[in-house]
Amino acid sequence: MTLPLSDIQAVLPELIVVAAACLVLGLDPITPQSKKTWLAWLSLGSLVLCVPITISQMGTRVSAFSDLVVLDPYACFWKLLLYLVSGLTILLSLAYLKAERINLGEYYGFLLLSLSGMMIMVSAVDLLTIYLGTELMSLSLYVLAGFKRFEARSLEASAKYFVLGSFSSGILLYGISLLFGVAGSTRLSAIAAAVANRGLDDPALVLAMILLVVGFGFKIAVVPFHMWTPDVYEGAPTSVTAFMAVASKVASFGAFVRVFLEGLGGLKANWYGLFLVVCIATLVLGNVVAIVQTNIKRMLAYSSIAHAGYALIGIVVAGQADTEGAVRSAGLSSVMLYLAVYAFMTLGAFAVVAMLRKGGLEGEEIEDFTGLAKRQPIAAFLMLVFMVSLAGIPPTAGFIGKFYLFLAAVNAGLAWLAVIAVLFAAVSAYYYLRVVMVMYMRDLDISAGLAPRFASSPAMTVVLACAIAGVVILGLYPDPLVSLTTSAVLTLK
Amino acid sequence: MFDLLVTLIPALPLTAVLLNGLLGTRYSHEVAHRLGWGSVAVSFLCAIVVFADTLKTGVAQEVTVYTWIFGGDLTINLAFLIDPLTCIMLLVVTGVGFLIHLYSVGYMHGERGFTRFFTYMNLFMVSMLLLVMGNNYLVLFIGWEGVGLCSYLLIGYYYDRVSAAKAATKAFVVNRIGDAGFLLAIFLVFVNFNTLDYTQVFAQAGKLSTETATAIAICLLIGAIGKSAQIPLYTWLPDAMEGPTPVSALIHAATMVTAGVYMIVRNHVLYDMAPVAMTTVAWVGGLTALFAATIGLVQNDIKRVLAYSTVSQLGYMFLACGIGAYAAAIFHLMTHAFFKALLFLSAGSVIHALSGEQDIRKMGGLKAKIPWTHSLFLVGTLAIAGIFPLAGFWSKDEIMAHAFTHHYYALYAIAVLGAFLTSFYMFRLTYLTFYGQSRVDHHVAEHIHESPTVMIGPLVVLAVLSVIGGFPGVPPEEGWFHHFLRPATTGVGEEHSAGLGLVVALMSAATVIALMGWGLAHYLYSVRPEAAQRWAAGAPRAYQTLLNKYYVDEIYDLLVVKPTKRLGMLCDWFDRTVIDGMVLGVWRVTQSGSAFSTGFEKYVIYGLINIMGYANHLSARSWRKLQSGMVHHYAAMIVAGLFILVHLILVWWTGSSVIGLALR
Amino acid sequence: MTVIPLSAYVALSAVLFATGLIGVLIRRNFIIVLMAVEIMLNAANINLVAFSHYLESMTGQIVALFVIAIAGGEAAVGLAIIIVVFRGKISTNVDEINLLKW
């Protein structure tokens, strides 16, 4: 049996990324220290190569490798978002790694491997493939989290992430094994059929579903599976934190939505309530605990937990028992829109954090932003826009994202959920604005020590420019993205 | 041409924001302030042309810039609605805004962050213009949030003061509570009408049930209460006086805080359908008017007196809305913008003259030293007190008369009492500041000087407006102003029952009330200054209560802030005993059966010790202690989550909990 | 020779899974925690192979093969992390890594 060419074509982007990763890992030992940047450009080049291929594949739903993966606009949307996020992360890392003296070629290799895992996750329609994708993503991220090998906190982040991550994927795998027992196959379509046969009350099915909720809940960091997030985000190198906070969350949501709608859509009467509880708990805890944080990376970690809670609203809407098709797809497309918006603003915020240097170290405390508006007005203004957008204040993209989500909730008759979400969005303004306050409303006591300053570089400027452009343009003119998500979500079965 | 002019009105200040914000450090302050006030001046000219056009054609026109949001059945344009109501707001915002910008050139001279100040002020103008010009709720909301953000940035302008930063945060968070209500109203409107355009919404409003209309109106009202500082969300406004005086004049007196009134008038079609909401609006307004006035009686900070007076006057506008006198509300909004901007700016001139002193107990006798400021302030006082025939007289009298002729006698009584108090505290302020013995610190006294022309000039214009600003609204309810606004404010039951005799009688009553307030202030603070102290000493408790603003901040602290902290403590306790105990318990249980009792004992004792330990550790930041840093706790939390999910499913299936099942 | 019923395999797998779960929760030694995770994965493997046999579908066994490969990768990464984290430390106690909290 030979592989048909069409199958190869379907996974061409994945192949390119994996090949680039191998090339980077292979070239790393023979590349002199001064030339390590070339590896970054090589990685970036591979992503640029993938973009047109994925765009050309955006048309209809094509399945490949006898239904292990599919190519539909839904998957392509996530892939494009992942290319963008990874590309910006590579640019962000260029200066950051140098400053941290961890400028190793492997870094880019692992980044690309992780990315290929994410790409597999979002296009897989078979639980085995999804599991392999998550493992590829996570194993690379475990290593990346500990990349500051000489700093105890980074290693600790890596160790914690590893223990909890492998624990949760063990739970996920057990769920998958039970589902296989019920359906006799790991295909999502076969599982959907089995669900339709078995009905809602099958205990094995429901237990498997709960185990999957735990496994995916860990990856997207929702309460009560969120505990690793603040610790790992704080300890990991900032560029990796940005990558984890955005790319891995985006990819996990992509797989999560597909599994629960294409595979377990028949069980939505069961998971709807669970997600509702998880969603509310996440909104409450994420937003409340963020208030007392003093470390900006931790604060952003709680904020990313809270944002996962907002995104869940869209899935809850899709799971509501008596929703019509239009409302369901509105809920799901608003999840996609929200995550795209979230990618820009979170990446931008982390880029500013990564740029801030205090002596030879990172300025990670919120206090380190004191009086920034005076010394670095443009950087402070960028941070202001990112914070305002995260808080969901118009006319930034953050508002558009929340607006569509809440609108979907209200349309689905979940106005009360929208009320809760709106109130917690109001609370969130408090902690985001605190960063603005220290930047704009306090003066730095120079005598106290070294003034944190910005290590700017051309690559970093590109990252910030992209992020701010995304936040502003999507806020003022979200139309193209909205039509893209609206049409992409229709291909989801 | 018309479209271009309309678009230019907000676009010009926006250009100035971008230039000053991004390049401001590269050129001198001269260029920065010229860009700042120049752009607003040109906007004002555009607004006049637009106004003239509307006056000629008399129809509402829509100008679409581009399609902002589009998806499914939802289309939202970034578009402007130019109707009489918008025109009036445009003139007030750009006109008063321009004067205040000009004044700021002198007032902010030599301050740090001069360019930054003008950037924020222009950004505020952009937001405020979007707010009043938008043709749909979402554009209104952008402006609504934008003015809140600018207000936040400008209150915290003197960032070296801790109180300023606190006041800024307070203002923003309180406003966000209101904004949440507003956002819900927007969602409700969308669900019911499938559109957010005013014209379409109001055209279809008839199909709404009373309950829905009431729900929308109440949600809108929550937004308006936050923005316009009404009971119970008014506490931020007096604190907002930490900002520079031009900011207080522009944002916290003339424009932003009146956004709530504008919004209610804009939505009067919905309010007309919801009598309950109307009554609520009226009573919120009436009570705020009276309540804030009583606090204003005893305050000693010149800007705080004016702040409470603003809250009180906004109350009158709400009251007017609530009794259906929409045109009167907008009329009062306009005259108030004139005289309150005048009062704030001349107060700023006083503060400027006294090198930053704001306490009226350290003023007095300034009439001779700063005569211009004195006469301008006096004009403002006469106008706000409602002395015939200044602007405040016509607008306030109209509200009171409307209340009387439409049989809202209780509200009328409140309004009259409020008017008396207003007159009293404003003249008290005038007497204490400008008359009597000088109580000025002698170091300060040496430097007293009249403000420069660039500051006095705008004040003179505002003073003239405060004198003549009421005439467009004469005769009451039938003036030119009302006819112009009629297309935008016609509601149900617009009858004119009041005869000429009654109108004159009510006017005379209002004048007498105002004069009584003046007389009492004259007696207490000019004729017999010691009497005031005697009165205060005679009722110490009442005086203290007023001085402490009815202890409302303290009550909020007790009712909202403290319980939140308690919740944190409870969570902390829960974490320490239950979570720790759970992990420890599991460990003990599984280690060996025989160790069970020991483990349990240790667990209980452990828990008890922790409770006692935490009795000392009564801090708020405890919820995060759940995050212990221990991998085991995190894993336990995941498993606990798993069990909770299983449990939830069981409860939904069987209608009872695991314990219930076990007992069965 | 009697046929072992499917339920026996599933029960064994459940017991193994619980053992792994509890092992992760209560053991302090990093390496033993790693082993406990491996037990969880193997519990899933038993399920997969048993189901595969009874449902007469090869998929389960193929999945199990993949899982074994992944478990190997996971162990490799895990041990590498243990080595760097505890280099210079005498113990391998998981609870001693708690710099990051709150």
Lowest mean pLDDT among A129-138, B566-575, C25-34: B566-575
Q: What is the ipTM of this complex?
A: 0.94
Of A167, A168, A289, the CB nearest to B624: A289
Mean pLDDT for A81-88 is 96
Residues 6+ apart with CB under 8 A from B398: B325, B328, B331, B332, B473, B476, B477
Question: Can you tell me the distance from the alpha carbon of C28 to that of C38, in angstroms, rounded to the nearest whole number?
Answer: 16
- Over residues A412-421, the mean pLDDT reads 87
In the predicted model, is pLDDT for residue B592 greater than 50? no
Which chains form contacts with chain C, at 3 or more CB pairs under 8 Å? A, B
What gap in Å lies between CA A132 and CA A464, rounded to an integer? 33
Is residue C57 assigned to a domain? yes
Q: Look at residue A296 and give its three-state secondary structure.
A: helix
Cα distance between residue C67 and residue B185, in whole Å? 52
Subunits adjacent to chain A (3 or more Cβ pairs under 8 Å) = B, C
Set of chain A residues whose Cβ sits within 8 Å of the Cβ of C87 = none
Report CA torsion sign: B354, B355, B357, B358. positive
Of B10, B150, B146, B12, nearest in space to B80 by CA: B10
**Across residues A439-467, what is the average pLDDT?**
76
Residue bearing the bigger pLDDT, B237 or C91 = B237
CB contact under 8 A, C51 and A174: no
Q: Which of residues 321-380 of A touch B (CB under 8 A)?
A: 326, 330, 333, 373, 377-378
> What element of type H or E holds B629?
none
Digit-coded pLDDT (tens) for A285-328: 888 888 778 889 989 999 999 999 999 999 999 888 666 677 88
Helices (H), A146-248: 152-183, 188-198, 203-220, 228-235, 238-243
A174 with C48: Cβ contact below 8 A: no
Nearest-Cα distance to chain B for C28, in Å, is 8
Confidence of residue A483 (pLDDT cuts 50, 70, 90): confident
Query: Chain-wide mean pLDDT for chain B?
Result: 80
The residue of chain B nearest to residue A208, with distances taken between CA atoms, is: B646
Which residue from A minimizes the CA distance to C38?
A: A170
* Chain C, nearest residue to B622 by Cα: C102
**pLDDT tens sequence across B178-192:** 888 888 888 888 888
pLDDT band at B662 (very low <50, low <70, confident <90, very high): low
Predicted local distance difference test score (pLDDT) of residue B169: 78
CA angle A212, A216, A220 (to 5 degrees): 165
Calculate how close chain C gets to B532, using CA atoms only, in Å: 56
Smallest CA–CA separation between A44 and chain B, in Å? Answer: 31
Question: Rounded to whole angstroms, how far apart are CA atoms B531 and B525?
Answer: 8
Contact A155 C84 (CB under 8 A): yes
The answer as to whether C68 is a domain residue is yes
Q: How far is CA A236 from the centre of its chain?
A: 16
A167 vs C contacts (CB less than 8 Å): 24, 37, 40
**Closest-CA residue of chain B to A235:** B629
Average pLDDT score over residue span A197-215? 88
Q: Which of A120-129, A427-436, B44-53, B80-89 has the lowest mean pLDDT?
A: A427-436
User: What's the pLDDT at A22?
Assistant: 94
Q: Over pLDDT 70: what percentage of chain B? A: 85
Helix axes A73-100, A105-123, angle to 10 degrees: 160
Residue B655 has pLDDT above 50, yes or no: yes
Question: Among A163, A168, A330, whose Cβ lies nearest the Cβ of B72?
Answer: A330
Residue A402 has pLDDT above 50, yes or no: yes
Q: Which tens digits make up the pLDDT trace of A316-344?
A: 998 886 666 778 888 899 999 999 999 99
Question: What token pair was written down for B346?
Answer: 């001349």
The rounded Cα B660 to chain-centroid distance in angstroms is 53
Q: Is the separation of the CB atoms in C17 and C47 below 8 Å?
A: no
Residues 6 or more apart whose CB falls under 8 angstroms from that of B115 comprise B20, B24, B25, B29, B32
CB B152 within 8 A of CB A430: no
Strands (E), A225-348: none
Segment holding B70, helix H or strand E: strand B61-71
Please list every residue in chain A whose beta carbon sits closer than 8 Å to the beta carbon of residue B637. 224-225, 227
Instruction: Work out the pLDDT band at B202, boundaries 50, 70, 90.
Output: confident
Residues of chain B numbered 63-102 and touching chain A (CB < 8 Å): 66-72, 74, 78
Neighbours of A434 (CB within 10 A): 21
Rounded Cα gap, residues B115 and B108, in angstroms: 10
Residue pLDDT, tens place only, B471-483: 887 777 777 888 8
Domain ranges, residue C76: 6-91
Nearest neighbour of C102 by CB, restricted to B586, B625, B635: B625
> Could you tell me which of C17, C4, C77 has the C-alpha nearest to residue C46?
C17
- Least CB–CB distance from B635: residue in A164, A210, A270: A164
Give the span between the Cα atoms of A423 and A48, in whole angstroms.
Answer: 41
Q: What is the pLDDT of residue B566?
A: 61
Q: What was the pLDDT predicted at A321?
A: 67
Residues of C in contact with B627 (CB under 8 A): 101-102
H-helix segments, B326-452? 326-353, 371-385, 391-405, 409-434, 442-445
Residue A210, both tokens? 């709960």
pLDDT of residue C42: 94
Confidence grade of residue A236 (pLDDT, cut at 50, 70, 90): very high
Which chain B residue lies closest to A267 (C-alpha atoms)? B649
CATH at C17: 1.10.287.3510
A476 contacts on B by Cβ (under 8 Å): 68, 78
pLDDT above 70: percentage of residues in chain A? 96
Domain total for chain C?
Answer: 1
**A chain contacts of residue C47, beta-carbon cutoff 8 Å:** 174, 177-178, 180-181
Of the ranges A93-97, A463-467, B314-318, which one carries the lowest mean pLDDT score? Answer: A93-97
pLDDT at B637: 85
Question: H or E stretch including A49?
Answer: helix A36-56
Is C77 in contact with A174 (Cβ distance < 8 A)?
no
- Inter-chain contact B145–A231, Cβ cutoff 8 Å? no
The reply to whether A473 touches chain B by the CB within 8 Å rule is no
Q: What's the whole-model pTM score?
A: 0.84
Residue entry with tokens 């998957």? A75
Q: Which residues, in sequence order, are CB contacts of A62 under 8 Å at separation 6+?
A: A6, A10, A70, A71, A72
Mean pLDDT is highest, among B314-323, B448-457, B596-605, for B314-323
Tell me what pLDDT residue A445 has: 65
- The residue ranges of every structural domain in chain A are 5-489
Q: Which of A153-162, B56-65, B365-374, B566-575 has the lowest mean pLDDT?
A: B566-575
- Cα gap A38→A105, rounded to integer Å: 9
Q: Flag whether residue A281 sits within 8 Å of chain B, measured between CB atoms.
A: no
Residue in chain C lying closest to B634 (CA): C25
For residue B571, what pLDDT is reported? Answer: 52
- Nearest-CB residue to A394 (from B145, B156, B173): B145
Task: Name the token pair of B193.
Answer: 């009408």
DSSP A85-108: HHHHHHHHHHHHHHHHT---HHHH
Find the helix packing angle between B162-193 and B210-227, rounded to 10°: 160
**Rounded CA separation B451/B372 (Å):** 9
Q: Is A191 on the interface with B (CB under 8 A)?
A: no
CA B26 – CA B20 distance, rounded (Å): 9
Q: What are phi and psi of B463, to 5 degrees?
A: -65, -45
Is residue C101 assigned to a domain? no
Q: Are C70 and C48 in contact (CB under 8 A)?
A: no
Q: Ranked by mean pLDDT, which of A60-64, A239-243, A432-436 comes out on top?
A: A239-243
Q: How confident is the model at residue A433 (pLDDT cuts 50, 70, 90)?
A: confident
Choose the closest CB to B71 out of A289, A377, A482.
Answer: A482
Picking from B575, B630, B642 by the largest number of C CB atoms within 10 A of its own CB, the best residue to mutate is: B630
Q: What are the start-end ranges of the H helices in B27-136?
A: 29-57, 84-107, 114-133
The answer to whether residue C1 sits within a structural domain is no
Contact B376, B434 (CB under 8 A): no
Q: Tell me: the pLDDT tens digits for B311-338?
A: 999 999 999 999 888 888 999 999 999 9
Is B629's CB within 8 Å of C26's CB?
no
Please indicate whether residue C18 or residue A371 has the higher confidence score (pLDDT).
Answer: C18
Measured between beta carbons, the chain C residues lying within 8 angstroms of A152 are 99
**Mean local confidence (pLDDT), C1-22:** 89
Nearest Cα to A391, choosing from A426, A421, A347?
Answer: A426
pLDDT at B598: 36
**What average pLDDT score do residues B405-414 get?**
89
What's the pLDDT tens digit per position in B220-254?
A: 999 999 888 888 788 888 888 888 888 888 888 88
Q: How many Cβ pairs within 8 Å bridge chains A and B? A: 162
Within an 8 Å CB–CB cutoff, is residue A283 touching chain B?
Answer: no
CA distance B600 to A301: 36
Partners of A288 on chain B (C-beta within 8 Å) are 623
Q: Which of A135, A174, A235 sits opposite C43 (nearest CB)?
A: A174
Q: Which of B466, B480, B479 is nearest to B335 (CA)?
A: B466
Cα A59 from Cα A55, distance rounded (Å): 8
CA C96 to CA B632: how far, in whole Å? 11
Q: Which of B301, B312, B328 is nearest to B404 (CA)?
A: B328
pLDDT value at residue B569: 57
Q: Which chains touch B (3 or more CB pairs under 8 A)?
A: A, C
Residues in C touching B583 (Cβ below 8 Å): 25
Task: Map residue A2 onto helix, strand or coil.
Answer: coil
Confidence band, pLDDT 50/70/90 cuts, at residue B590: very low
Neighbours of B507 (CB within 10 A): 20
A119/B199: higher pLDDT: A119
Burial class (CB in 10 A: 0-12, 13-18, 19+), B499: exposed
C101 → chain B, closest CA residue: B629
The size of chain A, in residues, is 493
- pLDDT tier, B530 (very low <50, low <70, confident <90, very high otherwise): confident
pLDDT of residue B521: 83
